[in-house]
Amino acid sequence: MYERYKIIPKYLKFFLYLLAGLLLVLGTFILLVLGGVFGKLPDNQSLKQIQNPIATEVYSADGVLMGTYYIQNRQYLEPSEIPETIKDALVATEDVRFYSHKGIDTRSLVRVFFKTLLLRKEGSGGGSTLTQQLAKNLYPRSNKGSFSMPVNKVKEMATARRMEKVYTKDEILEMYLSTVPFGENTFGIKAASRRFFNKDPQDLQLEEAAVLVGMLKATNLYNPVKNPERATKRRNVVLSQMAKYDRLDATEADSLRGIPLEVDYHPLPHNAGIAPYFREFIRGELDLWCKEHYKNESEPYNLYTDGLKVYTTIDSRLQQYAEEAMKSHMAHLQEIFEKQWKGDELWKGLTEKQLLINYDGKQRPGMASEAARKMEVFSWEGLQEKEYNTLDSIKHYLKFLQTGFMAMDVKSAEIKAWVGGIDHEYFKYDHVRASRQTGSTFKPLVYLEALEQGIAPCNYYPNDSIVYEEFDNWTPRNADRSYGGYYSMKGAMIHSVNTISVELLMQVGIDSVLELAQNMGIESELPAVPSLALGTGAVSLYEMMRVYQAIANQGVAKTPLYVTRIEDRNGKVLEGNNPDAEGISICNPENAELMVEMLRGVVNDGTAVGLRMKYRILADIAGKTGTTQNYTDGWFIG
């Protein structure tokens, strides 16, 4: 009996020594982590200055979010944007003792130790508090080999404790909801609510908020678009948790669990959103602005991570109308086009060799013999699945008619709408900035210079076919091939008579018209030849809009305005731009008025009368049509 009692203390002593040793090793390990041996921990000062990558947001003049520039689609929340229902759902589901612990929940740690580590029970829950999860989101885990998990866990606990001393509970929730990942390169509940429900967090219904909170357990598994059934079950778990912890009435929770899951998915990639061609245009200028402006003594702003807010002159309503009108009209024109050019008729005169030129100018003959494969291609009826090889794909996309549209306030020169093509996802080339022959839309420059030189609108000119021997015996031709008789200068403009337009150009001087064009905003190089009067020079729509803005604004040219201000993530104005108050007087205001009156005649009685006859537009309109050889391009500016 004595020997038995003598043996027990030995085992007890061994156990105590072992426990003391383990505690010593654990304590030493924790001290080493806290001491920075495995990487420096953020101190209180750096925690106060947390700056995470945030997407730059682009807004219309009427306050609508047009799109974002980002590496990670992250948008920070203002306290007023977080409804109590989201906080309640989050705390009830992820960290029920959030408001009572100080960054570390010891009860949860004990549960994880016994149930997960010792008993190997999966689904017993994690031990990380919301503050620890925030620490992990803000300071991503590092690879420390076999010590990675314990090192990172201790660092997250220590960081969480420090964060609880620096921030209030509501501030921690605000940061958590701004940084937590939702998959699909989407960070923060603001970006997630816009992505999955097309609304801001404060506008979410409770059952919608529960879906997003439910996703946090496993963003892909409970993605409401990819896995709606699982997302619904997880949503219902969140609602049950809210009822369990008195964050929601049990009867209401039961009612909400019966609501079918509905999403309004708006992924908003870089090419989606409002005015994607415009946003791509200003992106280059904003990149340059960031390089030239510094957020501190040595570091310039970053367009993709610094959470800038860019406010533009675009009117979201006008932009929407413009895009809808473009789609309707271009789909109709495409239908007519394809009826006239059936089968391979379109490619007559073009060899495969000409079609298979790569972007670098080199031939890619192998593409013609490639095997066909399934691919989704653009069509006006929606995406279509086709069996195409590369040559087939090239032919498919080359057949589509393209367009450019721009609207500008003639008084302020603010750009209000910008449509650069038929679909930015499939056609990146911006036709607002593309240089194209302008056709007869260039003629107002010739006629305005004539007015400036004292030629009256009522002066008459013969409609004669003239050979210009000094210019390779070139002869202008009228569109209807009719000659003879006389036209007043105003009549020649209204009916777009080519012979008289060229004669006027030669009378006032090519150099004079070139100088006027440059003064009115045309930067492209123009040919100093008689055919200049017929719009043979390649000019962009953007440049031509500057010309017509000056004419409509009594001869005062102004620099186009499209970005009104840039703010940092905290709302501090970094740059503000106001409309050009004075502009530059290009011509006599009376001559500009006479030019506008001539352009009214074009719409009322001339080449643009279709606006009245076909579309029944009764408003006061002045403008000019233009077509190039073989109707390659068709214009209207007014």
Residue 606 sits at φ, ψ, to 5 deg, of -110, -140
The dihedral formed by the CA atoms of 146, 151, 153 and 156, expressed in degrees to the nearest 10: -150
* Encoded tokens for 33: 């982590």
Confidence category of residue 252, pLDDT binned at 50, 70, 90: very high
Instruction: Write down the pLDDT at residue 86.
Output: 93
Instruction: Write down the pLDDT at residue 34.
Output: 58
Tell whether the model's pLDDT for residue 399 goes beyond 70.
yes
Mean pLDDT for 622-630 is: 92
Instruction: Write down the pLDDT at residue 259.
Output: 95
Confidence category of residue 630, pLDDT binned at 50, 70, 90: confident
Helix (H, G, I), strand (E, B) or coil at 538: strand
Angle between helices 250-257 and 228-244 in degrees, nearest 10? 180
Confidence category of residue 305, pLDDT binned at 50, 70, 90: confident
CB atoms within 10 A of CB 216: 21
Q: Is 357 part of any domain?
A: no
Tally the residues of the chain: 638
Query: Amino acid identity of 149?
Result: M
Residue owning tokens 């959470």: 307
Pairwise pLDDT comparison (508 vs 615), residue with the higher score: 508
How far apart, in whole angstroms, are the C-alpha atoms of residue 366 and residue 399?
22
Report yes or no: 636 and 623 within 8 Å, Cβ to Cβ.
Answer: yes
Helix (H) or strand (E) holding 341: none
Q: What is the pTM of this model?
A: 0.78
Mean pLDDT for 540-561 is: 97
Instruction: Write down the pLDDT at residue 366.
Output: 72
Structural domain boundaries enclosing 115? 72-268
CATH number at residue 153: 1.10.3810.10
Provide the β-strand partners of residue 575.
Answer: 566
Q: Is 140 part of any domain?
A: yes
Q: Is 351 part of any domain?
A: no
Q: What is the pLDDT of residues 12-63, one digit of tens each?
A: 766 666 666 666 655 665 565 555 655 666 777 777 767 777 889 999 999 9
Q: 33-41 long-range contacts, Cβ below 8 Å, gap at least 24? A: 33/151, 33/154, 33/155, 33/158, 34/154, 34/158, 38/144, 38/147, 38/151, 38/155, 39/142, 39/144, 39/151, 39/155, 41/155, 41/158, 41/159, 41/162
Instruction: Write down the pLDDT at residue 322.
Output: 97
Confidence category of residue 121, pLDDT binned at 50, 70, 90: very low
Choose one of 253, 268, 283: the last residue of a domain: 268
What secondary structure, in 3-state letters, does 316-328 show? HHHHHHHHHHHHH
- Label residues 171-202 b or e (16+ Cβ within 10 Å = b): ebbbbbbbbbbbbbebbbbbbbbbbbbeeebe
- Indicate the number of domains in the chain: 2
Q: What is the pLDDT of residues 456-466, one digit of tens each?
A: 999 999 999 99
Nearest Cα to Cα of residue 359 among 429, 450, 275, 461 = 429
Among 271-280, 491-500, 590-599, the minimum mean pLDDT is found in 271-280
How far apart, in whole angstroms, are the C-alpha atoms of residue 115 and residue 121?
6
How far is the first Cα of the chain from the last one, in angstroms, to the nearest whole number?
Answer: 113
| Strand residues in 459-572 grouped as ranges (E) | 460-462, 486-488, 538-540, 556-557, 563-567
Provide the β-strand partners of residue 54.
Answer: 306
How far apart, in whole angstroms, are the C-alpha atoms of residue 484 and residue 464?
6
Instruction: Write down the pLDDT at residue 35.
Output: 59
Instruction: Write down the pLDDT at residue 1.
Output: 47
Confidence category of residue 143, pLDDT binned at 50, 70, 90: low
Residue owning tokens 């002593």: 13
Report yes or no: 636 and 625 within 8 Å, Cβ to Cβ.
Answer: yes
CATH number at residue 621: 3.40.710.10
**Average model confidence (pLDDT) for the chain?**
87
| Residue 46, burial from CB neighbour count under 10 angstroms (0-12, 13-18, 19+) | middle
Segments in 246-315 forming alpha helices (H): 250-257, 276-292
| Strand residues in 150-239 grouped as ranges (E) | 186-187
Helix (H, G, I), strand (E, B) or coil at 636: strand
How far apart, in whole angstroms, are the C-alpha atoms of residue 422 and residue 315?
19
Query: Amino acid identity of 375?
Result: M
How far apart, in whole angstroms, are the C-alpha atoms of residue 191 and residue 205?
16
Q: Is 398 part of any domain?
A: no
Longest dimension (CA), the chain: 139
CB atoms within 10 A of CB 499: 21
Pairwise pLDDT comparison (141 vs 29), residue with the higher score: 141
Q: Is 328 part of any domain?
A: no
* Encoded tokens for 133: 């999860």
Q: Is 106 part of any domain?
A: yes
Choose one of 221, 238, 268: the last residue of a domain: 268
Q: Is 621 part of any domain?
A: yes
Tell whether the model's pLDDT for residue 370 goes beyond 70.
yes
Choose one of 268, 302, 324: the last residue of a domain: 268
Nearest Cα to Cα of residue 263 among 340, 184, 328, 316 = 184
Those residues whose C-beta lies under 8 Å from the C-beta of residue 272, and which sit 6 or more positions away, are: 67, 266, 425
Helix (H, G, I), strand (E, B) or coil at 436: strand
Chain center to CA of 54: 15
Sign of CA dihedral 442, 447, 451, 454: positive
Provide the β-strand partners of residue 357.
Answer: 363
Chain center to CA of 339: 35
